[in-house]
Amino acid sequence: MTAIDPTAHLTAEQIEELGRELDAIRDEVIAGRGEKDAAYIRKVISAQRKLELVSRGVLLFSIFPPAWLLGTAGLSVAKIMDNMEIGHNILHGQWDWMRDPKIHSTTWEWDHVSPSEQWKHSHNELHHTYTNVIGKDNDLGYGIMRVDEDQKWHPFHLGQPLWNFLNACFFEYGIAAYDLELGKNLHKRRRKSPEFRARAKAVGRKIRKQVLKDYVIHPLLSGPSFLPTLAATFTANLVRNIWTHSVIMCGHFPEGVQVFERRSIKGETRGQWYLRQMMGSANISGSKAMHFMTGNLSHQIEHHLFPDLPSNRYAEVAVKVRALFEKYELEYVTGPLPKQVFSAWHKVFRLSLPNKEPKVKTPDRGQEVVAA
Amino acid sequence: MTSAALRSRAWKLLEMVTTPLLPSDYLDLISPLRAGADLRGRIEAVHPETGDAATIVIRPGRGWRGHTAGQYVRIGVDVDGVRLWRAYSVTSPTNRQDGRVTITVKAIPDGKVSNHLVRKAKPGTLIQLDQPTGDFVLPQANPAKVLYLTAGSGITPVMGMLRDVEFDDVVMVHSAPQPQDVIFRNELHDLVADKKLRLTELHTDTDGMLDIAHLAELVPDWAERETWACGPAGLLDAAEEHWTEHGVQERLHTERFRPGIVVTGDGGEVTFSATGKTVHADGATPLLDIGEEAGVLMPSGCRMGICFGCVTPLKSGAVRDLRTGEITEAEPGVLIQTCVSAAAGPCDIER
């Protein structure tokens, strides 16, 4: 929807050929999934649980500052692992093929206030199907921000840097509210719908359990270390929230990422769907540790093309995907974390102010297909 | 407060500590075979029996309730990362001192699990277990005369019986292609040498298949014997017919290893078992659409295979993945994405 369509040089045939080439990459990974991949996720889950156990154990003595630091750092990492490499990816069904009922998208629950079931609907279904389609994909600005020049400006947007900062700090609550579509559902009539009430109740239950665990039970177990443990769990949640928010902002917000109009996805072919995922996502470059801590969402482009492939395979897939970007002369948006975070925040600030209406509109791809 | 009530309170508190996981998720890291855990076992040894059969020694978890000779156990093994469940007869005696149990597995052509167990299983591997089950067992009161009629790996449940209970008068007729294919051959011959068993060993490659009509030539008093038969369907069908013909069918006990063979094809009758609807599906329409057209309340999501919002148990039959062409056959616990799966033969969807 930006002034110049960066995919304008591709013919309809080329787009379908691109789709076939991406399908081939996907099929190759699926055919090769096996014991090593299963061992990988089991190892990560086991490591996360051990790290959490040890960290919470150390925090029992968090009255001593070194124990506080060590326990808080460990718990922060454990929570990030649970959220990103484990929870996010299992809930995508990436490990369902193992047929292990304990590591399955239908049974997994994460250390997060949004119940898995609701998150799967808003994230897997709405965000991944309608990626970057304004009005359909609420991940674009989470309904509180303006993320594209073509969106109508409102004085409310002046505050969006602040909204975004608060959202980062309390990200898991933001996600829970977002999964509930709270903004839309607070209207009087909707608030009373039994379906919404049931979902709101489920969130309330989850929040209660999470808060009780982090801010009551574990501090109480620590006895004299009550307050330091409370502070430690609060800090770990804060660190996890800011980290996940940053990583997720880098996925679709940096400069160079395209957004799409609602009518442009009408009658979208498989090739066009792939192309939208390619143009609507951005990566983070970095070390293996960086990829791991982002839950491999640093390979956001690959994840959006193949959301159900095991996360440990995205790195090898990325090499092939990037080659396709080059072949079809498309921009592969990537960069180190600080650069991407800065870029995303820059956009948040820039779009908090009104801008001139763009003069050139992107051609409507839906109509183009009909014409062809 | 009773100790049971106290324990349940303590457990509730522990659940609050570990939420959203359960205490068992952490305990499993340390002690997967403990009492109260999901039943598992650890492979402790793999002993080759013949060129394509091996005995797997398993240490079962504390929750193991023990078996009766002749019973089978379902085990869940991870093969190439995928958990697959199969049933195997228990071949160890019930009073084995070290508490281990054994199953004896024959690798069948293209058998994913059997080939894995016979050729690749490593000591130390954890497997999933169900409690032993099956009514192919010996009666409480010992029969005076016993006949074991077996072929191939059909000998495995009978070996569990032979090792468990000694009878005064036991005859066995066992068929295998060649002498080296006879599982437990040395042990059987030892029993014969000790006069604990009379054995007729048939080698079908040279002797031909056992003709049940001529059984009387091998075992003249077969009709007086309490008989346990296990082997290929052909043998069991013939035996059932023969025993019925002679009016002694109550003396025959049979065990069939592969009751249902999945018929795969292109499309078929689809049953939505929770709703009780059966409709015909072609091989190209997603089961989600088939269900919705039939008025079944189907969970749905992206309708393109990416959101996993439509996964539903496949209770029987087979489906084809419309993207990859891959066939998935029903097994307990198998879930399919209905939006990208079409019927590959008759199948049953739990909706």
Query: Which range has the worst mean pLDDT, B74-78, B182-186, B331-335?
Result: B331-335
| pLDDT greater than 80 at residue A189 | no
Give the distance from CA B55 to its chain's centroid.
Answer: 15
**Of residues B78, B80, B307, nearest to A128 (C-beta):** B307
pLDDT for A183 equals: 78
Q: Could you give the 3-state DSSP secondary structure of residue A210? A: helix
Decide if A213 and B81 are in contact by the 8 Å CB cutoff. Answer: no
Of residues A335 and A147, the one with the higher pLDDT is A335
* pLDDT band of A372, cuts 50, 70, 90: very low
Give the integer Cα–Cα distance in Å for B329 and A274: 30
Question: What is the spatial distance between Cα A5 and Cα A362, in angstroms, rounded to a whole number?
Answer: 6
- A143-147, A340-344, B70-74, B259-263: least confident range: B259-263
| A97 chain-B contacts, CB cut-off 8 A | 81-82
CA distance, residue A125 to nearest chain B CA (Å)? 5
* Region of poorest pLDDT, from A39-43, A154-158, A363-367, B237-241: A363-367
- Tell which wins on pLDDT, B202 or B262: B202
Neighboring chain A residues of B37 at a CB cutoff of 8 Å: none
Residues A365, A363: Cα–Cα separation, whole Å = 6
**Shortest Cα–Cα distance, B330 to chain A (Å):** 12
- pLDDT of A371 > 50? The answer is no
Nearest to A125 among B16, B301, B334 (CB): B301
C-beta atoms of A27 and B25 within 8 A? no
pLDDT at B22 over 60: yes
A46 contact residues in B (CB cutoff 8 A) = 29
pLDDT for A364 equals: 45
Please list every residue in chain B whose beta carbon sits closer than 8 Å to the beta carbon of residue A101: 333
Contact yes or no for B19 and A100 at CB 8 A: no
Mean of pLDDT over chain A: 92
Average confidence (pLDDT) over B174-202 = 97
B81/A33 CB distance under 8 A: yes
Q: Could you tell me the CA-to-CA distances from B139 to A106, A188, B94, B254 in Å, in that order? A: 43, 70, 15, 14
The minimum CA-CA distance between B126 and chain A, rounded to whole Å, is 13
pLDDT of residue A211: 98
The answer to whether B16 contacts A101, with C-beta atoms less than 8 Å apart, is no
Instruction: Say whether B334 and A111 touch across the interface (CB within 8 A).
Output: no
**Segment holding B43, helix H or strand E:** strand B40-50
Nearest to B342 by CA among B325, B351, B330, B333: B325
Backbone angles phi, psi at B293, to 5 degrees: -65, -30
A73-87, A140-154, B162-176, B181-195: the lowest-pLDDT one = A140-154
Q: CA torsion sign, A360 to A361 to A367 to A372?
A: positive
Q: Which residues of A are less than 8 Å from B19 in CB distance?
A: 209-210, 212-213
A10 or A141: which leads in pLDDT = A10
- The band of A3, judged by pLDDT with boundaries at 50, 70 and 90, is low
Residue A358's SS3 state is coil
Q: How far is A268 from chain B (nearest CA, A)?
A: 12
A353 CA to chain B: closest CA distance, Å? 35
Which burial class, exposed, middle or buried, applies to A319 when counting CB atoms under 10 A from its CB (0-12, 13-18, 19+)? Answer: exposed
Helix axes A35-59, B23-30, angle to 10 degrees: 110
Amino acid found at B97 = Q
Tokens for A310?
Answer: 């095991």
| Contact list, B26 vs chain A (CB under 8 Å) | 49, 53
Q: Are A97 and B302 an interchain contact pair (Cβ–Cβ within 8 Å)?
A: no
User: Of B86, B151, B89, which Cα lies nearest the Cα of B116?
Assistant: B86
- Smallest Cβ–Cβ distance between B19 and the set A39, A102, A213 belongs to A213
* pLDDT tens-place string over residues B126-149: 999 999 999 999 998 889 999 999
How far apart are the C-alpha atoms of A135 and A126, rounded to whole Å?
11
Chain-chain contact of B307 with A124 (C-beta, under 8 angstroms): yes
Under DSSP, is residue B347 helix (H, G, I), strand (E, B) or coil?
strand
Give the chain A residue nearest B313 (alpha carbons): A106
Distance from B301 to chain A by nearest Cα, in Å? Answer: 6
Of B19, B306, B335, the CB nearest to A307: B306
Closest-CA residue of chain A to B28: A46
The whole-angstrom distance between A349's CA and the closest CA on chain B is: 33
Q: What is the ipTM of this complex?
A: 0.91
Taking an 8 Å cut-off on Cβ atoms, the answer to whether A105 and B305 are in contact is: no
pLDDT at A185 over 90: no
| A161: closest CA of chain B, how far (Å) | 31
CA distance A243 to B194: 74
How many percent of chain A have pLDDT more than 90?
Answer: 81
Mutation pick from B308, B322, B335, B350 vs chain A, by most beta carbons of A within 10 Å, is: B308
Please answer yes or no on whether A98 and B81 come within 8 Å at the CB atom.
yes
CA distance A159 to chain B (A): 34
Residue B2 carries which DSSP code? -
pLDDT number for residue B261:
63
Residues B19, A210: C-beta atoms closer than 8 Å: yes
Chain B CA closest to residue A49: B26
In this complex, do B29 and A46 lie within 8 Å of one another by their Cβ atoms?
A: yes
CB contact under 8 A, B333 and A93: no
Average pLDDT over every residue of A206-232 = 97
**In this predicted structure, what is the pLDDT of residue A363?**
45
How many C-beta atoms lie closer than 10 Å to residue A102's C-beta?
14
Nearest CA in chain B to A215: B17
Q: Is the peptide bond before A358 cis (omega within 30 degrees of 0)?
A: no
Closest by CA position to A49, among listed B16, B15, B21: B21
The per-residue pLDDT for range A163-180, each reduced to its tens digit, is 999 999 999 999 999 899
Q: In what order do the strands lie in the sheet with B53-60?
A: B82-89, B72-79, B126-129, B40-50, B53-60, B101-106
CA A155 to chain B, closest CA, distance in angstroms equals 35
- Report chain B's mean pLDDT, rounded to a whole number: 94
CB contact under 8 A, A124 and B80: no
Q: Which of B20, B306, B323 is closest, CB to CB, to A110?
A: B20
| pTM of the full structure | 0.93
- CB spacing of B335 vs A96 below 8 angstroms: yes
Interchain pair A210, B307: CB under 8 A: no
Q: Which of B21, B84, B301 sits opposite A124 (nearest CB)?
A: B301
The length of chain B, given as a count of residues: 351
Nearest-CB residue to B81 (from A38, A50, A101): A38
Lowest-confidence segment of A251-260, A319-328, B45-54, B212-221 by average pLDDT: A251-260
CB pairs under 8 A between A and B: 102
Nearest Cα neighbor of A53 from B30, B33, B9, B10 is: B30
Question: What pLDDT, on a 0 to 100 scale, did the predictor assign at position A168?
Answer: 96
